């Protein structure tokens, strides 16, 4: 009788371990095809059912391309845009051309079983691709949180949810460190930040943009943070705002030489008394770290935090 009870207890324990073991769960979630079908909701609110693990992926935006690489899925990527310039090696993947309008004929020729697009900018093309029967996910993040959610969506769609969780955990740890460190900085002590140019028509990212989210989390105060979206701001408004920091960006979308841009800002009429210019708190950076909704946004956050902390010291 004792022997039977002992065996029963052992069997129960083994069954419990089998059902709850995280190692077994990890192995199962990486199995691949057994994870499908999955139903996902993209940033346009459209539900997409993916019935099998994608083997041929086309990315129509640089941020999606960077996420694919970060998840180790670059061998599945058969098409990308001319603007997909990171990471190294991406140039070996066939280009579909511009971001908008999309070259639908080229995309179709690549025979994709999943297309990762860029929301509103490509809305008409997305509709057409869906009419043609393609699986299309539209992703258009405007905050760090939404970017992390898009990583989860892409990882799930591609059958690698655990890789997505691992990447998100790493990024969240870095984000949380900075957010916690700067959370208690009162508004009166936050450095006022301007990002823009010296052009006659100055565009600057306001509330509900990626750059504004980064500035706030890093402990700064965006001088146009009280306005929504990308806004135009006059030279006089910039001067009146008296920014403590000026960030100028350059990259594939804005290829002008950094030294010239910085010199133009310094020499801009009416800006000589701006604190950032008087104290030479003008910083140049790669625009992709602030505007591209991929994993490198966290590098942009860390860069801003480093800049702001250095000035306060």
pLDDT of 104-156, one tens digit each?
A: 999 999 999 999 999 878 999 999 999 999 999 999 999 999 999 999 999 99
Query: Could you check whether 33-171 and 185-312 share the same CATH topology?
Result: yes
Contacts 24+ apart (CB under 8 A), 87-94: 90/65
Most confident listed range (13-17, 149-153, 308-312): 149-153
Domain ranges of the chain: 33-171, 185-312
- Which class for 278: exposed (0-12), middle (13-18), buried (19 or more C-beta within 10 A)? exposed
pLDDT of 224-241, one tens digit each?
A: 999 999 999 999 999 999
Report the distance separating Cα 108 and Cα 134, nearest Å. Answer: 9
Confidence of residue 69 (pLDDT cuts 50, 70, 90): very high
Q: Which CATH code for domain 185-312? A: 3.40.50.1980
Q: Which CATH code for domain 33-171? A: 3.40.50.1980
- The pLDDT value given to residue 313: 56
pTM summary value: 0.86
pLDDT of 74-110, one tens digit each?
A: 999 999 999 999 999 999 999 999 999 999 999 999 9
Q: For residue 118, which of 72, 68, 62 has the smallest C-alpha distance?
A: 62
Q: Give the mean pLDDT of 279-289.
A: 94
């Amino acid at each position: 009788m004792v022997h039977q009870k002992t065996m029963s207890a052992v069997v129960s324990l083994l069954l419990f371990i089998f059902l709850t073991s995280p190692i077994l769960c990890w192995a199962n979630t990486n199995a691949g095809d057994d994870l499908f079908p999955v139903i996902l909701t993209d940033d346009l609110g459209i539900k997409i059912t993916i019935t099998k693990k994608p083997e041929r992926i086309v990315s129509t935006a640089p941020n999606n391309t960077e996420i694919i690489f970060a998840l180790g899925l670059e061998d599945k990527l058969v098409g990308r845009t001319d603007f997909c310039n990171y990471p190294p090696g991406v140039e070996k993947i066939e280009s579909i051309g511009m971001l908008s309008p999309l070259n639908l004929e080229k995309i179709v020729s690549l025979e994709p079983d999943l297309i990762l697009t860029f929301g509103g900018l490509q809305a008409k093309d997305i509709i057409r691709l869906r009419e043609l029967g393609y699986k299309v996910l539209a992703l258009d993040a405007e905050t760090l949180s939404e970017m992390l959610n898009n990583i989860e969506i892409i990882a799930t769609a591609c059958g690698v949810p655990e890789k997505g969780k691992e990447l998100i955990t790493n990024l969240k740890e870095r984000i949380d460190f900075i957010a916690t460190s700067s959370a208690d900085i009162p508004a009166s002590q936050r450095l006022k930040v301007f990002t823009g140019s010296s052009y006659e028509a100055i565009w600057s990212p306001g509330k509900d943009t990626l750059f504004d989210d980064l500035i706030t989390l890093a402990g700064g105060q965006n001088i146009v943070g009280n306005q929504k979206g990308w806004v135009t701001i006059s030279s006089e408004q910039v001067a009146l705002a008296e920014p403590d920091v000026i960030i100028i960006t350059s990259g594939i979308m804005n290829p002008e030489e950094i030294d010239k841009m910085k010199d133009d800002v310094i020499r801009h009429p009416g800006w000589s008394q701006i604190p950032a210019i008087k104290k030479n708190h003008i910083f140049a950076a790669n625009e992709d770290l602030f505007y591209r909704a991929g994993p490198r946004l966290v590098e942009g956050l860390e860069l801003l935090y480093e800049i702001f902390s250095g000035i306060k010291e």
